[in-house]
Every structure is written in structure tokens, then in C-alpha cells.
Amino acid sequence: MKYISMFFIMFIALSCKDQPNQISKKNTNQKNQQFALVIHGGAGYIKDLPQDIEKVYREKLNEALETGYAVLERGGSATEAVRQTIKVMENSPLFNAGKGCVLNSLGKPELDASIMDGKTLNAGAVAGVSHIKNPIDAAVLVKDSTRHVLLSGKGAEEFCQSKGMKLVPESYFITEKRLRQLKQIQKKEHQTAKNHLSYIFNGIKKYGTVGCVALDKAGNIAAGTSTGGLMNKQFGRIGDSPIIGAGTYADNQTCGISCTGTGEYFIRTAASYSVSDLMKFKKMTLVKAQKQVIDRIEQLGGDGGMIGLDKNANIAWYFNTQGMFRAYKKSNGEKKIEMYH
Amino acid sequence: MKYISMFFIMFIALSCKDQPNQISKKNTNQKNQQFALVIHGGAGYIKDLPQDIEKVYREKLNEALETGYAVLERGGSATEAVRQTIKVMENSPLFNAGKGCVLNSLGKPELDASIMDGKTLNAGAVAGVSHIKNPIDAAVLVKDSTRHVLLSGKGAEEFCQSKGMKLVPESYFITEKRLRQLKQIQKKEHQTAKNHLSYIFNGIKKYGTVGCVALDKAGNIAAGTSTGGLMNKQFGRIGDSPIIGAGTYADNQTCGISCTGTGEYFIRTAASYSVSDLMKFKKMTLVKAQKQVIDRIEQLGGDGGMIGLDKNANIAWYFNTQGMFRAYKKSNGEKKIEMYH
């Protein structure tokens, strides 16, 4: 509760756009490589949640965070930490990824995910899959076992099956709550066409994509993102989450980034890659680069947020929505779980 | 066999990377806005074609070029010029786009296309469509008539149909020549797995994607790309062509770009967007920026090329393959049609 009042005061006093959220201390040129993990569970109109709902989210964010952190702590790779972390969130119906994802205009799940390894710039992604329990696993499989970066639809599913992955029925993903929300939004969209880029979730207008960025003991960065896209989206729509350079990017030389929001604006601005370029070419800090990109997205009419970390384990997040589910943990002991501004 | 040995010798003898192809004269701060159009029909091991084949390509490139140029000349928009130009190439079986596109591992056509308007940064794209005669028309439709940037597969086709577009059977795209090539490469790939990122076309190893960038009389830039992807590709594979920031980018403040090559490397480097950033942040000329991006792609193991123009109607192309079908025409009278280095 302490946090809530603090953030509420901050929200009134400050414009969030003017206060980049550089939230971890600097950590430059250390001999012992720090490791760190940062996650998000979507951005949107998240404010003053009922205590019981806040608790449930806080616990799940903590579980995801600790799962990935444990991978890093025992010397696992950043990509493996990202994969394990995102799986926890995909398996929870709290987020718009994996089980309990939002539904397209036909009432079907269509999931996207991507992962990128900042050491090699190798990447893998899937788009529009409806029978893969953990799309992030499929993204890893594409990265490691094909000559391709992005596979879509039935082709992606058949490939995963050929590699021994068991497919699940569409019903696995569909929850009663999401069906109700779809009906609500379809009714609402009919009434107000302008409301089409968001959806109502527990009374909260939000983009529930999940993402994770990790820096491992070897100094390698990885980033990943997983989503069900937009509620009531056009069948076949691909957003920014499976697009390397838009929703996900990682480069050991600069940073790792995972985004959430109105994906189309993140594609048009090559959002995650842009952050990397601003750090490389304009020598910006991570958070300043994030702010510049989100500001540009806002100018174009989009909203959302992003998380990231740089090669020195500096962690930053930035969003132009009311809130974003987010958390991080670093090997120097710092840890935070936040939701509001 | 003649070609193979010839290309092998060239491959040893030449490094094409040292010769940036800034091919048009500078044109800065003119009061009367110049207009211009640049196109490509794919890059690859293109050298010393038989005269009759060269003639056929030259004529078709000229037809595409003049079609788009005429749109600009009569005051049409850059996006319309790009659309009309690409349609000419899609309708020709000479290129790997539209009719006569390469076939996936199942022997089916799967087409991708994208278009971007550099004034508004609006963009549209389709991926994995098999029943749309002109995928570039579908990309324009997505740009102008949806809230989305990228639609894929059946969802994209159903959307186009709902907007009055007539679908075509898969057989429309499939030529005898492509079926033969598929069989050849499937046999060859079985023998040498390393050969998988290219295909043989008329005895020429090349990526036959088509693209166009235009600058109109109003000073607006647009870029577009259309492709059948890679011969014998995994069913469901999406390359760089429909990815805004990878295969296609346009921004009035910097440049417009269309790419061709091993698409996965163009995705991982956000190739087309990178050129724009290098011009913006490093004050590079268009061709220097292109060279830097293609060099990076080569370091990662990829090959291909790109065309582009900047807001001052400077035109440039760059490629690390033996050749690229390419041409441009400017309102100051300059015109070129080239294939080789």
C-alpha cells in the first residue's frame, strides 16, 4: 500500500513522459559480471487495483521473476532465463499470452512470440499459432533448428510437431472470462469504432503482452516477448511481438528490449531496434532512448511501454500508459515489483 | 556449367563491397522538387546473361520503370507509383513475385508484400498469401483500410475479399519452370544442405524479390517490396519483404529503401530502418549507409542488396552479390537500367 500512495502522488505531481524511469543503479566496468532480469506483463490503464487482484499479480510476477533469476544464478544462459520466465506468464491466465490469451474477431486464439540472442543476433519467432501451449518454446525452436527467423500459422505448428512438440487444442487457451470480454468489446466496438485498439480486462484497458530481458553471467543479453495480440483483432493480424526490431531486440553491444502496446506503432517505428541505435549512435542512456521512442510512438497516436537492460546491468522501463506490470531483480540484491506510475 | 565456373572465378577475383554505387548526381535544395523512381528485380549471381535473356529483362525493367515514372510525372503520389511499378513486375514471370514466384517446400506459392508511406509512416503488408494476384495491392489495402500493418495467410485473403478483391487459384502463380526448379533444388538440397539459402533460376543463383522506391512532386517518399520468398522454403516462413523496418522502409526525413536477399539477415539487422537511422544520426549519405548495413549482413553470413533514394532525389543501390536487376529514372533526365557490377 505504501507503494500505491507513493506512486499515486507521483502520478499527480509528475508527467510520466518527463520522468524516464531509470530505476536501477549504475554498474559499469565491474570485474564480476552482474546478472539481471527484467519482466513486464503488459501496459495499460492499470491503477489502484483491488488489493486481492494486486496480490495475485504481484505473486505471479514474483514467480516469473524468480524462475528466470534462478536460471541466471546457476549459470544458465540469458536466452534460457527468458524462455523459462515467459513460460510462467504464458501458463498463467492473468496475462494475454498462452493460456487465457485474448481472442481474435472469430473467437479464436492466435498467438505470437519471439526471442533474440544478443551475442549472435540469432532470433526466432512464431506468429498466428493456435495449438502451441508455449509459443516462446516454438520461438526458441525456430531460432535453434531452422534457417529462418519467423514461421507463421500452420507451417509453424507443423514444424514444431515435426520436432516432437505436442500440439494442444484451441480450447486449452480459451477462458470464460476472455469470451465474455470479446462479446463486450464486439458490442462496444460496434458502438464506438474509435475504441478498437484496446480492450477491457478486469475493467482495466490494457495490453497484456508479456516480455523478459536477461543479462547472464557471461555478459550475454537476450530478450523475448509473447502475446495473444489485440482482443477482437482481424483474423491473421500480426503485431509487433513476433517482429524482431519491433517488439523484441537484443544486442550485447547495446541492450535488450521487450515492448507492449499498440503493436502497429511499434512496427512503424522499429521501436526496440531504435532504442539500440539511439544508444549506439547518440550515446543515449537506455532510459533516455526508451523515452525518445515512446514519445515518438505517442506523437503518431500509439501507446504502450517497454522494458530493457543494458550490458552494464542498468535496468530501465518506460511507458505512456497509466501503468505497466513490471519487475526486475539484479545480482547486487536490488529487486522491485511495480504496477502503477 | 559455363555460369557456375564464371561465377566462381568472379567470386574469387572481386570484392564488390569496396564500390558503393552512388549512381545519381546530387540534387540538393532545389526549388522545383525533383521526382524519381528506382526499382530492383532481385540480386544474386547474375552475370553475362545470354543476349536474348538480357534483352527480355531489360525490356521488362524498362516497362516497370516507365509505368511508375508516368504516375509521378502526372502528379501521382509516390505510393501509387510504387504500387503500379511493382504490379508490372508481379505480373511478369521473370521475377520472383506474383505470377511465376518460387514455390515452398510443398510446391505451393506463398507471397509477401509491403508498402510504406514516408510522409505519415503509415504502412501495410501481407504475408503468406496464396490467392492474391497482386500482393502489393493487398498491402495498400491493409495500409489504407485497416488499423493493422501486417495481415497474414487466410485472414489477409478473407479481408481482401471482403473489400471486393477477387481471389485467384494457386495455379495462377505456378509455372512449369518453377516446378522444375523446385524439384532440382529439392534434389540438390538433399545432397548439400548448405545450399539451402538460394535457388537456381535460369541457371542463375538469385533472390528474385522485386521492389520500388519513389519520390513524388510533393516531396513524399514511398517504398514497397514484393516476393515469393525462398524456393523450397519451410511452409509458413515469413522473410524480410513484408516486415516494415527489415525489407521496406520509408521516411520523408531520410530515405526510402527496398531490400532483396537472405531475408533472415535483413530482419536481424533491421536493414532498411538501419539505413534511415545511419543517415539521421551519423549524417551518412544514402549509399554509405547502405554499404554499412550490407557489410554487417555479410559479416553475419547473409547476402543480397538494396535500392533507395533520399529526400533530395539522390539515388543509390548496393549489393554484395554478383549482380542485381535494377533501374532508375529521374525528372532531371537521368535514366539507367543495369544488371551486373
Helix (H) or strand (E) holding A321: none
* HSE of B7, CA atoms in CB hemisphere, 13 A: 17
Min distance B51 CA to chain A CA atoms (Å): 36
Chain B residues closer than 8 Å to A127 by CB: 152, 238
- Dihedral over Cα of A228, A231, A232, A238: its sign: negative
Q: Which of residues 207-246 of A touch B (CB under 8 A)?
A: 233-239, 243-246
Between residues B72 and A204, the one the model is more confident about: B72
Q: Which of residues 143-182 of A touch B (CB under 8 A)?
A: 146-156, 158-159
Q: What is the pLDDT of residue B57?
A: 95
Q: What is the pLDDT of residue B48?
A: 85
Min distance A133 CA to chain B CA atoms (Å): 18
Chain A residues closer than 8 Å to B147 by CB: 196-197, 264
Q: What is the pLDDT of residue B340?
A: 92
Q: What is the pLDDT of residue B21?
A: 64
| Residue indicated by cell numbers 500493418 | B149
Q: Which of residues 235-294 of A touch B (CB under 8 A)?
A: 235-239, 243-246, 249, 263-264, 267-270, 273-274, 277-278, 281-282
**Residue partners of A34: CB distance under 8 A and separation at least 6:** A27, A215, A312, A313, A330, A331, A332
pTM score: 0.90
- For residue A78, pLDDT beyond 70: yes
Please say if B209 is a catalytic residue.
yes
CA distance A13 to A7: 10
Query: Strands B36-44 and B21-22: what pairing?
Result: unpaired
Banded model confidence at residue B1, pLDDT cuts 50, 70, 90: very low
Q: What is the pLDDT of residue B189?
A: 62
| Residue indicated by cell numbers 510504406 | B116
CB within 8 Å: A128 and B196:
no
Say if residue B23 is exposed, middle or buried (CB neighbours under 10 Å; 0-12, 13-18, 19+).
middle
Q: Which of B321, B290, B292 is nearest to B306 (CA)?
A: B290
**Residue partners of B14: CB distance under 8 A and separation at least 6:** B341
The three state secondary structure string of B81-92 is HHHHHHHHHHCC
CA distance B79 to B85: 10
Helix (H) or strand (E) holding B223: strand B221-227
- Dihedral over Cα of A34, A36, A321, B276: its sign: positive
Catalytic residue among B85, B209, B248, B269: B209
Helix (H) or strand (E) holding B75: none
Q: What is the pLDDT of residue B185?
A: 81
Instruction: Report chain B's mean pLDDT, rounded to a whole number.
Output: 88
Per-residue pLDDT of B273-325, as tens digits, reads 999 999 999 999 999 999 999 999 999 999 999 999 999 999 999 999 999 99
Which residue in chain B has the smallest CA separation from A236? B155
Min distance B148 CA to chain A CA atoms (Å): 6
**Residue partners of A6: CB distance under 8 A and separation at least 6:** none
- For residue A44, pLDDT beyond 60: yes
* Helix, strand or coil, per DSSP, at residue B153: helix
Chain B residues closer than 8 Å to A233 by CB: 148
Q: Which of A204, A267, A220, A219 is nearest to A239 (CA)?
A: A267
Best of B238, B275, B300 to disrupt the A interface (most A CBs within 10 Å) is B238
**Residue partners of B29: CB distance under 8 A and separation at least 6:** B312
> Across chain A, where does the E strand assignment appear?
21-22, 36-44, 111-117, 123-129, 150-152, 200-201, 204-207, 210-215, 221-227, 237-238, 248-250, 255-261, 304-310, 315-319, 323-330, 335-340
- Determine contact, residues A317/A330, Cβ cutoff 8 Å: no
Q: What is the pLDDT of residue B190?
A: 59
Which residue in chain B has the smallest CA separation from A198? B147
Between residues A31 and A85, the one the model is more confident about: A85
Min distance B18 CA to chain A CA atoms (Å): 23
- Determine contact, residues B80/B38, Cβ cutoff 8 Å: no
Q: Letter for the amino acid at B54?
A: E
Q: Which cell goes with A233? A: 483483432
| A55 close to B (CB below 8 A) | no
Weakest-pLDDT range from B18-32, B137-151, B296-310: B18-32
Which residue in chain A has the smallest CA separation from B274? A277
Per-residue pLDDT of A293-333, as tens digits, reads 999 999 999 999 999 999 999 999 999 999 999 999 999 99
Per-residue pLDDT of A189-235, as tens digits, reads 655 444 333 433 444 456 789 999 999 999 999 999 999 988 888 89
- For residue B195, pLDDT beyond 60: no
Best of A160, A196, A234, A279 to disrupt the B interface (most B CBs within 10 Å) is A234
CA distance A187 to A177: 15
Report domain extents, chain B.
Answer: 1-32, 36-340
Q: What is the CATH number of domain B36-340?
A: 3.60.20.30
- For residue A181, pLDDT beyond 80: yes
Banded model confidence at residue B257, pLDDT cuts 50, 70, 90: very high
CB within 8 Å: A149 and B268:
yes
CA distance B150 to B195: 30
Q: What is the pLDDT of residue A241?
A: 98
Q: Compute the average pLDDT of residues A275-285.
A: 98
Indicate the Cα dihedral angle A85, A89, A91, A92, nearest 10°.
150
ipTM summary value: 0.89
Q: What is the pLDDT of residue B188?
A: 72
- For residue B230, pLDDT beyond 90: no
Chain A residues closer than 8 Å to B151 by CB: 234, 236-238
CB within 8 Å: B270 and A153:
no
Q: Compute the average pLDDT of residues B54-58.
A: 95
Q: Reduced to 3 DSSP states, what percent helix, strand and coil does chain B have, rounded to the nearest 5?
A: 40, 25, 35
CB within 8 Å: A152 and B156:
no
Chain A residues closer than 8 Å to B154 by CB: 235-236
CA distance A275 to A289: 5
Q: Compute the average pLDDT of residues B54-80.
A: 97
Q: What is the full DSSP assignment across B13-66?
A: H--GGG--EE-S----S-SS---EEEEEEEEES--S--HHHHHHHHHHHHHHHH
